[in-house]
Amino acid sequence: MIGPIWVVCEQRQGSPRPISLELVSAASQWSEEVCGIAYGESVSDGATVLGAHGLRRLFDLGDLGDALVGPRVASAISAAITSNGAPSALFIPATYDGRDIAGRLSAKLDLPLLTNVVGLSEQDGVLVSEHAIFGGTRTVTARFTNDADMSIFVIRPKSFEAKSAGGPAAEIGRLELPKPGPADAAQVIEHHVEERTGPSLDEASVVVSGGRGLGEPANYALVEQLATLLHGAPGATRAIVDAGWVPYAYQVGQTGKVVKPEVYLACGISGAIQHLAGMKNSRHIVAINKDPLAPIFQSSDFGVVGDVNKLLPRLIKALEARAR
């Protein structure tokens, strides 16, 4: 067992995100004092489910209004450390806001970060982190060298399993937000929620991704159509995100999202190691590619050598016929 662990718990309107439950479950393996830090509306509504996963206390920062999350939450954590002392470790999710919080806090406290963590273990009373490199073909283990300092780990989604151990609801505490400073000058003037018909990439049980092999941006519609039919989420390779076909949010890979669906359909994707890093732990992988030597076939359960733009319309038709 190591000492107290604090976890930044992302949530929306009282529902903790899956990554929050994953990080709390992980932390409770090594600590009996797991405390969460959360912000936004109705934080306390998440106390029951977080408690079941092992959270003891949940500190509520309240609604952040029109401020950006990173600098506000980093200031609050820094102030909490000044008044209460630092925990042994701090777990931060590797999300858009999590990375901002981690970066700000690291510079504020002059503490190093271990980022893109995909696993943790306890060795001689300290936490040792695992990182996937070269597209997950190698695993690096690393640790901080100053044992006295708080260890800050920025952890990728899907690295740990969320396990409900049936603990009592987390006790709610309140943390004050320090006064905004110059770093808080950015102001959100509009939240834009993109209409999504299916599940998010993180949570979908089927992910259908497209790559360069689709030939042109318009053909990505086939990927979206197939994803909708399978109640899944559409994803993309870095190549077509870089080319501007789809936004960054669709990117699956080392840079981008890590997905672990039941089925991953790789359409026109060659299988660069950076892409494999984001999907190779999927339960089942189906790949369609023109090139019989494409590396993706080395990682797929079923591979089809063929033209994705001919096969996808037929697959869509077959699934539609089946649904009728």
Near another protein in 44-103, by CB under 8 A: 68, 70-71, 74, 94-96, 99-100, 102-103
Q: x/- string (CB under 8 A) for another protein, residues 193-232?
A: xx-----x----xx-----------------------x-x
Closest separation in Å from C-beta 62 to another protein: 19
Span interacting with another protein, options 28-36, 49-57, 126-134, 162-170, rule CB under 8 A: 126-134
How long a stretch of residues is the chain? Answer: 324
Nearest distance in Å: CB 20, another protein: 12
Enumerate residues 230-289 that contact another protein by CB under 8 A. Answer: 230, 232, 238, 241-245, 247-249, 254-255, 262-263, 274, 280, 283-286, 288
Task: Rule CB under 8 A: choose which of 53, 56, 72, 104 binds another protein.
Answer: 104
Residue nearer to another protein on the CB measure, 34 or 114: 114
- Exactly one of 161, 166, 182, 218 binds another protein (CB under 8 A); that residue is 182
What sign does the dihedral 130-133-137-142 (CA atoms) show? Answer: negative
Query: CB of residue 21 vs another protein: minimum separation in angstroms?
Result: 15
CB–CB of 46/9 below 8 Å?
yes
Of 128, 167, 172, 212, which one interacts with another protein (CB under 8 A)? 128
Q: Give the closest residue to 52 by CA, choosing from 162, 172, 173, 164.
A: 164
- Site residues (CB under 8 A) for another protein, limited to 292-321: 292, 297-307, 310-311, 314-315, 317-319
Of the candidate spans 33-41, 42-50, 83-91, 114-122, the one that interacts with another protein by CB under 8 A turns out to be 114-122
| Calpha distance 115→314 (Å, rounded) | 42
SS3 132: strand
Q: How far is the CB of 56 from another protein (least distance, A)?
A: 26
Exposed e or buried b per residue across 203-237, where buried means at least 16 C-beta atoms within 10 angstroms of its C-beta: ebebbbbbbebbeeeebbebbbbbbebbebbbbbb
Strands 15-16 and 11-12 turn out to be: antiparallel
Q: Quote the least distance from Cβ 214 to another protein, whole Å.
A: 15
> Which member of 185, 215, 216, 221 binds another protein (CB under 8 A)?
185
Smallest gap, in angstroms, from Cβ of residue 277 to another protein? 10
CB 135 within 8 A of CB 254: yes
- Residue 52 C-beta: closest distance to another protein, Å: 23
State which of positions 147-176 bind another protein (CB under 8 A): 149, 154
* CA–centroid distance for 223 within its chain: 22
**Residues in 18-47 that interact with another protein by CB under 8 A:** none
> What is the DSSP track for 101-127?
HHHHHHHHHT--EEEEEEEEEEETTEE
Closest to 205 (Cα-Cα) out of 225, 226, 185, 233: 233
Helix (H, G, I), strand (E, B) or coil at 74: helix
Among candidate residues 195, 275, 263, 285, the one with its CA nearest the CA of residue 236: 275
- Kindly determine how many residues on this chain lie close enough to bind another protein according to the rule CB under 8 A: 99
Give the shortest CB-290-to-another protein separation in angstroms: 10
15 near another protein, judged by CB under 8 A:
no
CA distance 136 to 142: 15
CB of 171 to another protein, least distance (A): 27
304, containing H or E segment: strand 302-305
Q: Which residue among 11, 116, 237, 270 contacts another protein (CB under 8 A)? A: 116
